[in-house]
Amino acid sequence: MISKLCNRIFQEVIYDYHHHDNIEQPIQNPYRISTLEHLLYLKCWIDTVQWHMEDVVRNPAIDPVAGLQWKRRIDASNQERTDVVEYIDSYFLEEYKHISPSENAKINSESPAWVVDRLSILALKVFHMTEETLRADATEEHKNACQTKLNILLEQRIDLSRSLDELIADIENGAKYMKTYKQMKMYNDPSLNPVLYNIK
């Protein structure tokens, strides 16, 4: 089951990151390059670092110049995240290129890699919501509210995992086919963002 692999690696990444708990900690990807495992580890590492950058930039006391610098790092991270999602889809396209879709095959509203992306973010939500249920300085009311949210996140992970596995099974048996589109983000491209290309 592809979801089992994803969820295992995402949990591994999150614990590896929090062993250091440092945004500047270099990634130490234990998986061989060109493998799906390597891409999954990289994907979740980017998400985990960006999660913590998003926390930092929301500090109301942050220096505006520093805040802008963090925002630009987050923008760059978002682009890298999108690139890795596309690499994961490329992996799946190569993996299933020999499959001939059935005559009535349908396309899914999102590609497998974008479901993987959601699972990665969900793993982070589960980890951090679990932390909130265990906070020694929090009220019981806060911890109980977070436990309710955690239960929903765990149920969501079950459902999303099943959806990913069913999508992959449908692709394997020809009931669905993959078709991917580049995200074509415009705001990072100096030839497409009018604020950038109008700078004199």
pLDDT at 133: 97
Select from 1, 4, 10 the least CA-distant residue to 117: 10
pLDDT at 54: 96
Confidence of residue 6 (pLDDT cuts 50, 70, 90): very high
pLDDT at 191: 76
**177 φ/ψ angles, rounded to the nearest 5 degrees:** -130, 155
Give the global pTM: 0.91
Q: What is the mean pLDDT of the chain?
A: 93
**Is the model's pLDDT at 29 over the cut of 90?**
yes
Place of tokens 């009931």: 175
Distance from chain centroid for Cα 127: 14
What is the arithmetic mean of pLDDT over 178-195? 72
pLDDT at 184: 64
pLDDT at 181: 72
Confidence of residue 183 (pLDDT cuts 50, 70, 90): low
